């Protein structure tokens, strides 16, 4: 570790829509950054080529300790293989760690993106000094990262943290994972937009469409949020419903893990207290009193760079 503290680190966030590569020092200060579309539809080979190009844009110094990668999907951390990624078409058992390691001749570490973000917040963000921490990314879906006693928790097969797929309503909407009523079918940005479209098609009066150029296919969580800022009644109702379901999921997490801190990141977190306050209220009302009193629920601090900074932290945390 001391040897790495004086060196720079490359962190890469690999998602279905973007690649975010950074050059960071050991304190999490970003010195260089390259952001580009991942073009996931072009397949693994094309995406890997773009990852390498992005790393080369930031890795312009000789004093680099290693490369960390946070990837959307299921990762075998021990072997550095992405076993499956719903957001990256064609990615089945891709040995990304070995490929990048051969290209750059540097140590490479691979982790799930939400788990990496949890580590990033623990090392550089809102979770500094907190040993029992849950990071929740609420965006298109819901993902999570878990730290227990200061260590990332991976589970028996490396898939721990898929909290978006715990069942909240057994009769709820069908999830792409094949289950019904998963947390992300009720409390994600996708769920919020879907419910807005459903209500508009049923004849609800709302200004939401004004922010979507009058087109239902352009209705999004962000456009629902914009309507709330003009006092739209339906938009406020929809976000309150989403916050309620977010809170129900948080109750389960509080009761199971008894964390010191839960950090909410991802696109929906930009709604701030409009989302967080009612969700926290559900926790205070429904969770066991002892863990409910012990936990703080706050907005994450690292924003869109949480995954890349967490990937960089993987290098620092490696033995």
Domains of the chain with CATH codes: 2-123+305-317 (3.30.420.40), 126-301 (3.30.420.40)
The tokens describing 279, both together, are 């969700």
pLDDT recorded at residue 122: 97
Q: Which residue, among 148, 100, 137, 141, has the nearest Cα to 302 in the 3D structure?
A: 137
In eight-state DSSP terms, residue 71 is: E
> Within 10 A of 277 (CB to CB), how many other CB atoms are there?
12
The per-residue pLDDT for 6 is: 66
pLDDT digits (tens, 9 = 90+) for 122-137: 999 999 999 999 999 9
Phi–psi pair at 206, nearest 5 degrees: -165, 155
The answer on pLDDT for 95 being more than 70 is yes
The token duo for 157 is: 């097969």
Q: Is the dihedral of CA 167, 168, 174, 177 positive or negative?
A: negative
**Span between the terminal Cα atoms of the chain, in Å:** 7
Between CA 303 and CA 279 the distance in angstroms is 20
As a whole number, mean pLDDT of residues 189-197 equals: 96
Residue 290: CB atoms within 10 A of its CB come to: 10
Report the C-alpha gap between 219 and 215 in whole angstroms. Answer: 7
**Residue 185 pairs with which residues in a beta bridge?**
none
- Asked whether residue 2 carries a pLDDT value surpassing 80, the answer given is no
The Cα 49–Cα 36 span in angstroms is 12
What's residue 5's pLDDT? 62
Task: Kindly state the percentage of the chain with pLDDT values over 70.
Answer: 98
- Contact between 169 and 150 (Cβ < 8 Å): no
The tokens of 301 are what?
């601090």
Average pLDDT of the chain, as a whole number:
94
Q: Nearest CA to 108 among 253, 314, 275, 317?
A: 314
DSSP readout, 127-191? Answer: TTT-SSEEEEEESSSEEEEEEETTEE---SSS-TT-GGGSBS-TTSPBPTTS-BSBTHHHHSHHH
**In the structure encoding, which two tokens stand for residue 127, read together?**
């979770």
Which residues share a beta bridge with 14? 19, 71
Backbone angles phi, psi at 28, to 5 degrees: 85, 15
**CA-to-CA dists, residue 301 to 121, 144, 175, 306, angstroms:** 7, 15, 29, 8
Least confident of 71-75, 85-89, 223-227, 280-284: 85-89
Query: Exposure string (b/e) for 70-82, b if CB count within 10 Å is 16 or more?
Result: bbbbbbbbeebbb
Note the pLDDT tens digit of each residue in 37-50: 999 999 999 999 99
Report pLDDT digits (tens) over 60-78. Answer: 888 999 999 999 888 999 9
Per-residue pLDDT tens for 267-278?
Answer: 999 999 999 999
Closest by CA to 264, choosing from 239, 300, 306, 292, is 300
Interatomic CA distance for residues 238 and 276, integer angstroms: 14
Closest CA to 144 of 49, 9, 264, 255: 264
What is the H or E stretch that residue 251 is in? Answer: helix 233-257
Residue 17's SS3 state is coil
């Amino acid at each position: 570790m001391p040897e790495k503290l004086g060196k720079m680190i490359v962190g890469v966030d690999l998602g279905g829509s973007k690649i975010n590569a950074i050059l960071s020092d050991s304190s999490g200060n970003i010195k260089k950054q390259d952001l580009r579309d991942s073009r996931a539809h072009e397949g693994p080979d094309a995406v890997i080529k773009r990852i390498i190009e992005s790393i080369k844009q930031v890795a312009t110094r000789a004093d680099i300790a290693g490369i960390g990668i946070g990837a959307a999907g299921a990762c075998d951390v021990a072997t550095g293989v992405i076993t499956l990624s719903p957001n990256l078409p064609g990615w089945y058992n891709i040995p990304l760690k070995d490929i990048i390691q051969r290209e750059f001749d540097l140590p490479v570490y691979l982790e799930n993106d939400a788990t990496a973000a949890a580590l990033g917040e623990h090392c550089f963000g809102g979770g500094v000094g907190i040993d029992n921490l849950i990071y929740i990314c609420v965006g298109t879906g819901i993902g999570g990262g878990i730290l227990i006693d200061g260590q990332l928790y991976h589970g028996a097969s490396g898939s721990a943290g898929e909290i978006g797929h715990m069942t909240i309503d057994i009769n709820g909407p069908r999830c792409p994972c094949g289950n019904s009523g998963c947390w992300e079918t009720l409390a994600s940005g996708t769920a919020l937009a879907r419910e807005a479209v459903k209500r508009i098609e049923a004849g609800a009066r709302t200004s939401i469409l004004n922010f979507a150029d009058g087109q239902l296919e352009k209705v999004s969580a962000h456009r629902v949020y914009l309507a709330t800022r003009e006092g739209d009644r339906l938009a406020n109702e929809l976000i309150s419903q989403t916050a309620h379901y977010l809170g129900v999921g948080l109750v389960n997490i509080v009761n199971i893990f008894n964390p010191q801190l839960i950090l909410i990141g991802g696109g929906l977190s930009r709604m701030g207290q409009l989302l967080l306050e009612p969700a926290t209220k559900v926790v205070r009302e429904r969770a066991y009193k002892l863990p409910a009193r012990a936990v703080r629920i706050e907005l994450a601090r690292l924003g869109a760079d949480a995954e890349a900074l967490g990937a960089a932290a993987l290098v620092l945390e490696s033995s």
